[in-house]
Structure 1
Amino acid sequence: MKQLIETIVKPLVDYPDDVQITMDERESRVTYKLSVNAEDMGKVIGKQGRVAKAIRTIVYSAAGSHHGKRVFVDIID
C-alpha cells in the first residue's frame, strides 16, 4: 500500500525525494501518514481537496478489507 501511495504522489510533486510515508497500525485501523515538501502541499491537496480525496479513494479501494482493518490516509504538514 505504501508503494501505491508513492506511485500516485511522486509524479504530482516537484520534490519527489521529500515524499515520506509512515504506517501506524492499530487493532482495528491502519493509518498511512503522507508527508511532502511544504511547496508541494497544495499540489497534493488540490483545489477544494479534490486530489487528496482521489488519493484516499484509490487507497481505500485497493485496501479492500485489509484483514478486517479500516485504512486511512493522513496528509501531514
Structure 2
Amino acid sequence: MKELVETIAKALVDHPEDVRVTEVEHEQSLTLQLSVHPTDMGKVIGKQGRIAKAIRSVVYAAGANHKKRINLEIQ
C-alpha cells in the first residue's frame, strides 16, 4: 500500500526525492501519512481537492482486499 501511494505521488510532484509515506497500523485500520515538498503540496491536493480524492479512491479500493479501513493524510 505504501509503495502505491509513493508511486502515484512521485509522478505528480517536481521534487520526487522529498516524497515520504509513513504507515501507522491500528487494530482495524491503516493510516498512510503522505508528506511532500511544500511547493508540491498544491499538485498533490489539486483544484478543490480532486487529485487527493482520486488518490484516496485508489487507496480505498486497494485496501478492500486487505479487509482494513485505509486513511490517507496529506501533510
Could you say which residue in structure 2 is the equivalent of 1:8? 8
TM-score (norm 1): 0.93
Deviations 1:10-53 (A, max 9, x none): 01000000000000001111000000000000000000000000
Give structure 1 stretches of 5+ with no counterpart.
none
Distance 1:43 1:73 in 2: 16
Q: TM-score, normalised by structure 2?
A: 0.95
Structure 2 residue 71 is the aligned partner of structure 1 residue 72 = yes
Q: CA RMSD in A?
A: 0.8
| Percent pairwise identity | 57
Q: Which runs of 5+ in 2 are unaligned?
A: none
SS state at 2:27 partner: coil
Q: In 2, Cα distance between the equivalents of 1:52 and 1:44?
A: 6
Following TM superposition, the consecutive aligned residue runs of length 4 or more in structure 1 with deviations greater than 3 angstroms are none
- Counting helix residues as a fraction of each chain, which structure ranks higher? 2
